[in-house]
Structure 1
Amino acid sequence: MITAFLPCRKGSQRIADKNIKDFANIKGGLLSIKLNQLKKCTLINSIVVSSNDERILELVSIDKDSRIIIDERPDYLGSSSTTTDELIRYVPSIVHDEHILWTHVTSPFINEHDYQKIIEAYFFNMQQGYDSLMTAHKLQGFIWNETSPISYNRDELKWPMTQNIKPFFEIDSGAFVSSANNYKEFSDRIGKHPFIYIQEKMKSLDIDWPDDFLLAEEIWKFQNSHCNLK
């Protein structure tokens, strides 16, 4: 049994009301999109929406899907100073299924089909010795810190072919799947041996800045207008 945990705290420092502001002319915005995607995933047993925003709680309460559970999160866990670690420690107190899929409304291009594949990959890889899963984007290029490259050795080749560079993986926050026991034992949303689930670049798009929001809107509009033409 797996629960989708969807955190939506009140306020946003970079994009005002980004969780529920209209997105590509869709009322309820990113939250409405994400709820519809999660509801269509047949492997998800319940969906916990955790928020301290009255408008979000009201919007979710209108939805009559019996799998949706509303968590009125305490304000001390919904401020801009709340750390992810603090929220992680809170999750096992409100989720009672054996497995937890943590996801965000800010990943609109991860749809129900992707969640299905992610969950299936999680259970398959548990049989291979992994204890959790997290989505990521593969970075295979000329990656530097402030002074020098960290993804390749310029003493060997100053500009190697990118396909020969050892990749790094950027965790995209699209989905974390783990057991409730891992949350309790490690105070973490992954275990000690997570499987890195590589996503396409667009699936990994996380809306964090105003430019991200505008770009995602245009991609969404293009995709849906293209579908309507078929």
Structure 2
Amino acid sequence: MQVNNKSRCHINVCIIPARGGSKRIPRKNIKHFCGKPIIAYAIEAAIASGCFDQVIVSTDDQEIAEVARNFGASTPFIRPDELSDDHCGTLAVINHAINWLAESGKPASYVCTLYGTSPFIKADTLKNALNILTSQAEKIYCFGVCEYPVPIQQAFSISETQKIEMFEPESFGLRTQDLTPAYFDAGQFYWGTAQGFLSEQCMFSDAAIPYILPKYEVHDIDNIDDWVLAEAMYIALNKITLSKTSQE
């Protein structure tokens, strides 16, 4: 059977992994965050960015799929059981979706992995990161990073006997401004070429270009304490934004 050339046009796709079996915060992906399911923020930002031909939520859970569709995402498949346990990595989930699209006659060109628990993500951030990636022909990935709030060179460990030991004793006494800034993965989004993801090339390498995010937009939500703090910050930021808008 011949495949229609038009159906083989490459697309840009957002893939939001959202399994139903979260342990530390039960039903985490659809738990309400400041008034609506937390996954809705990621879906809405992806759609508003205008970057994507399709926004897909990859889930093993029918309730999550229904919520995702209600906010404009598509759920063209239910994720296989072998990709839904605690030990399955995100890359396997993303590559499953990329391969599914290719087999369905919709091969992807650029792919953005976007976590469903990213309520601070902005549409402009996704758009700007894609522009940076496409302007760097030699790069495969672009993802969000954030600077550590304190110098990691002056970090230390505490043993069971309460012994303090610096990781870099030679950095003791040095001024903060004299130390090289260090960054961490913000855990929000990962733009990349479809082939880059499929090749499983390491992201933390010369293959990637960083997109530096402000500290107030980066909040790792792993437990209920993180959740409460993130909601408080989200409300505070919205108040600041509304105040600035009213003054203009």
Q: TM-score range by the shorter chain?
A: 0.7 to 0.9
In structure 2, give the amino acid aligned to 1:136.
Answer: V
In 2: Cα distance, 1:71 partner to 1:149 partner: 49
Q: Which has the higher helix share?
A: 2
* Superimposed CA distance per residue, residues 119-168 of structure 1 (whole angstroms, 9 cap, x where no aligned partner): 112112x23x3221121112251334567545xx533x522121211122
The partner residue of 1:104 within 98, 106, 115 is: 115
1:164-203 equivalences under 5 Å are 164-186=178-200, 193-203=207-217
1:99-138 equivalences under 5 Å are 99-124=110-135, 126-127=136-137, 129-138=138-147
1:15 is aligned to 25
1:84 equivalenced with 2:90 (yes/no): yes
CA contact (8 A) 1:138 1:170 kept: yes
CA contact (8 A) 2:141 2:191 kept: yes
SS of the aligned residue for 2:20 comes to coil
SS of the aligned residue for 1:72 comes to coil
- Equivalent residue pairs, number: 221
In structure 2, give the amino acid aligned to 1:22.
Answer: H
SS of the aligned residue for 1:100 comes to strand
SS of the aligned residue for 2:77 comes to strand
In 1: Cα distance, 2:124 partner to 2:109 partner: 22
The partner residue of 1:154 within 169, 192, 201 is: 169
* Superimposed CA distance per residue, residues 70-128 of structure 1 (whole angstroms, 9 cap, x where no aligned partner): 3311122112222334324423213422110111122211111211111112112x23x
* Superimposed CA distance per residue, residues 30-62 of structure 1 (whole angstroms, 9 cap, x where no aligned partner): 111221111111122211110011111112233
In 1: Cα distance, 2:193 partner to 2:75 partner: 19
SS of the aligned residue for 2:108 comes to coil
For the pair shown, the structure with the greater C-alpha radius of gyration is 2
CA contact (8 A) 2:46 2:55 kept: yes
Gaps of 5+ in 1: none
Query: What is the aligned-residue identity percentage?
Result: 20
What TM-score comes out, normalization by structure 2 length? 0.79
In 2: Cα distance, 1:177 partner to 1:205 partner: 19
* Superimposed CA distance per residue, residues 159-198 of structure 1 (whole angstroms, 9 cap, x where no aligned partner): 2121211122211221111111112223666786111221
2:226 is aligned to 212
CA contact (8 A) 1:132 1:193 kept: yes
CA contact (8 A) 1:3 1:48 kept: yes
1:143 equivalenced with 2:155 (yes/no): yes
In 1: Cα distance, 2:242 partner to 2:212 partner: 29
- Going from structure 1 to structure 2, the CA distance change for 1:228 and 1:52 (only over 3 Å counts) comes to same
In structure 2, give the amino acid aligned to 1:154.
Answer: P
